[in-house]
């Protein structure tokens, strides 16, 4: 990430943006974030991302009242960086005091950072990839989009060692989500995904894909599928802002749909691309 960033009301070259060593984001990972997709120079599903940001802020008790107008700030950031396709990264920490204490003291001024990352826009079907089944070692408030990501990093590293693109996490015998994605399984024409509770981050892409599926008359059940059911899945895919809809052809040594992209996954990939086309056409 480079270019121009927004930091606490200022527009700065990335190399000149600095925060205090006492910032609670730096010392405690005491903050939340969002990653918002940008297609054709415009943020996609922005209202949904901003609503989730408010929920995260509220959950950890950061007052977002002094924040800038997000849609204006994001549009300015995109324009300043001439971003066509990519993502906006938005992070808010609780701010800094002049000593390191676990409990925040006094009224702190939150630290607000926005920056961009570019990515090519693709319209094809991604090659089905491998997921690694791993125990979910993270905390029990996965519904908060916290910048405290050590658990996710360790899990991603384990998955990478197994040549998998993403861990598939399980807790008490059921699949929760990925380290940075949500999982879907298809069985007998029914689409399953874990319910939106404290064990997962309900992805904006997850929710959008559920909406697309319901609009295509695909039967949807927000029920977690079990580890011992994985070998019976007809199809599997994951969703996230950066990966959109990614087919999964293999989970450890379990091959799904002969390792290919299944018909319902394909249908949802096309529906997702169509919704992007619609978004691009609205400019």
The vertex-143 CA angle with 188 and 169, nearest 5°, equals 50
CB nearer to ligand PMP: give 83 or 204: 204
CB nearer to ligand PMP: give 20 or 242: 242
Q: Which listed residue (97, 116, 146, 241) binds ligand PMP by CB under 6 A? A: 241
Q: Which listed residue (30, 136, 166, 177) binds ligand PMP by CB under 6 A? A: 177
Smallest gap from Cβ 197 to ligand PMP, in A, equals 13
Q: What whole-number distance in Å separates Cα of residue 275 and Cα of residue 212?
A: 9
- Given the rule CB under 6 A, which of 3-11, 53-61, 233-241, 255-263 is the region that contacts ligand PMP? 233-241
CA 250 to chain centre: 22
Exposure string of 246-279, with b = 16+ CB inside 10 Å and e = fewer, is bbbbbbeebebbeebbbebbbebbebbbebbeeb
> What is the Cα gyration radius of the chain?
19
Q: What whole-number distance in Å separates Cα of residue 64 and Cα of residue 210?
A: 29
Q: Which listed residue (96, 239, 246, 257) binds ligand PMP by CB under 6 A? A: 239
Position 182 contacts ligand PMP (CB under 6 A): yes
Instruction: Determine whether 145 is an active site residue.
Output: yes
Q: Which listed residue (111, 116, 205, 246) binds ligand PMP by CB under 6 A? A: 205
CB nearer to ligand PMP: give 130 or 145: 145
CB nearer to ligand PMP: give 35 or 137: 35
Query: From edge to edge, which strands make up the β-sheet containing 111-118?
Result: 10-13, 4-7, 111-118, 86-93, 31-39, 42-43
Catalytic residue annotation: 145
Interface with ligand PMP (CB under 6 A): 35, 177, 180-182, 201, 203-206, 239-241
């Amino acid at each position: 990430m480079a270019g121009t960033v927004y930091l606490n009301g200022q527009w700065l070259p990335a190399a000149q943006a600095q925060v205090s060593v006492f910032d609670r984001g730096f010392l405690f990972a005491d903050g939340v974030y969002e990653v918002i997709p940008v297609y054709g120079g415009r943020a996609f599903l922005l209202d949904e991302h901003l609503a989730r940001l408010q929920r995260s802020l509220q959950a950890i008790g950061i007052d977002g009242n002094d924040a800038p107008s997000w849609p204006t700030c994001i549009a300015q950031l995109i324009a300043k960086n001439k971003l066509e396709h990519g993502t906006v990264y938005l992070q808010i920490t609780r701010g800094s005091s002049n000593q390191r204490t676990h409990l925040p003291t006094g009224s702190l001024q939150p630290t607000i950072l926005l920056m961009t990352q570019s990515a090519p826009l693709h319209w094809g079907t991604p090659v089905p990839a491998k997921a690694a089944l791993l125990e979910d070692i993270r905390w029990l408030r996965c519904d908060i989009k916290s910048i405290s990501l050590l658990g996710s990093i360790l899990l991603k590293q384990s998955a990478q060692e197994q040549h998998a693109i993403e861990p598939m996490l399980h807790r008490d015998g059921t699949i929760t989500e990925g380290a940075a994605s949500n999982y879907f399984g298809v069985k007998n024409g029914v689409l399953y995904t874990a319910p939106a509770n404290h064990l997962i981050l309900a992805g904006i892409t997850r929710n959008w894909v559920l909406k697309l599926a319901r609009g295509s008359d695909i039967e949807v059940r927000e029920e977690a599928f079990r580890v011992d059911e994985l070998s019976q899945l007809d199809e599997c895919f994951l969703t996230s802002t950066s990966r959109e809809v990614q087919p999964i052809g293999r989970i450890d040594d379990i091959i799904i749909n002969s390792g290919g992209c299944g018909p319902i996954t394909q249908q949802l990939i096309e529906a997702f691309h169509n919704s992007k086309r619609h978004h691009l056409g609205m400019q």
